[in-house]
Amino acid sequence: MQELFIKICGITNLDDARLASELGANAVGFIFHKGSERYISPEHAVEIARQLPEHLSKIGVFVHADSREIVDTARLVSLSAVQLTGDEGPDDLVDYEFNIIKVFRVRPGFDVETMQNYLVDAFLLDTYKEGAYGGTGKTFDWNVAVQAKRYGRIILSGGLDPDNIEPAVKFVRPYGVDVSSGVEMHPGKKHPAKLRDFISRARNAYLSVEPQ
């Protein structure tokens, strides 16, 4: 049975990144969107990333960024993957040399068939909120995530926290989960106990589900 992929997003400091790794996270996310409360500069991300274990994936989060910015930042920080939120069509993603996580923000009436032509490493499904790109603290209808699994690996995001991660994992059985605001003391600073509980409960829930 494949291990659940757990990504801790909105990392802004080395202590939180190290703790996430020590607690068993598979990846940390650096947000390079200047409109985010969890924005980190590429230069600061480099300082953090170079002090983290090799096995921990470093994922860069971009919002409506141009390809040159994405490529330059990915190379500078030595990112494992790039997570893209924007108007990218399927043809816009074929030439990247990096692993691609394509974000879809789910609102009522979202059509999962929109995803079918994208050849990416994973999809991340987050909750749609006008003007917000992640960190909303709101969930969406998880039935959408279940349906979306027919088109590829699904990383479930949107309003996840230690209290709801177990039912989320058991219901969706995703490839991975992503959390930011649900394990924070305030934007950009993680809460150690919440981080520990989230990772532990996510792992236990995944192991308790019979393989499909």
Question: Using CA atoms, how far apart are residues 108 and 55, in angstroms rounded to an integer?
Answer: 37
Question: Using CA atoms, how far apart are residues 6 and 132, in angstroms rounded to an integer?
Answer: 22
pLDDT number for residue 95: 82
- Residue 172 phi, psi (nearest 5): -85, -35
11-15, 122-126, 154-158, 208-212, range with the lowest pLDDT? 208-212
pLDDT number for residue 128: 78
Catalytic residue among 9, 16, 161, 178: 9
pLDDT number for residue 130: 59
CATH of domain 5-208: 3.20.20.70
43-57, 59-73, 103-117, 129-143, range with the lowest pLDDT? 129-143
Domain boundaries, the chain: 5-208
Residue with tokens 């106990």: 193
Question: Using CA atoms, how far apart are residues 77 and 70, in angstroms rounded to an integer?
Answer: 11
pLDDT number for residue 210: 65
Whether 126 is catalytic: yes
pTM of the model: 0.94
Section 157-162 average pLDDT? 96
For residue 145, give the H/E element and its range.
helix 142-148
Section 152-168 average pLDDT? 97
With a cut of 70, say whether residue 175 has pLDDT above it. Answer: yes
- The two three-digit tokens of residue 120, written as one number: 């990416």
Strands 189-190 and 184-186: antiparallel
Residue-wise pLDDT for 58-112, tens only, equals: 999 999 999 999 999 999 999 999 999 988 999 999 888 899 999 999 989 999 9
Residue in 73, 39, 77, 37 with CA at minimum distance from that of residue 57: 77
Catalytic residue among 16, 126, 161, 178: 126
Is residue 188 a contact partner of residue 17, using CB atoms and an 8 Å limit? no
Which has the higher per-residue pLDDT, 208 or 101? 101
pLDDT number for residue 71: 96
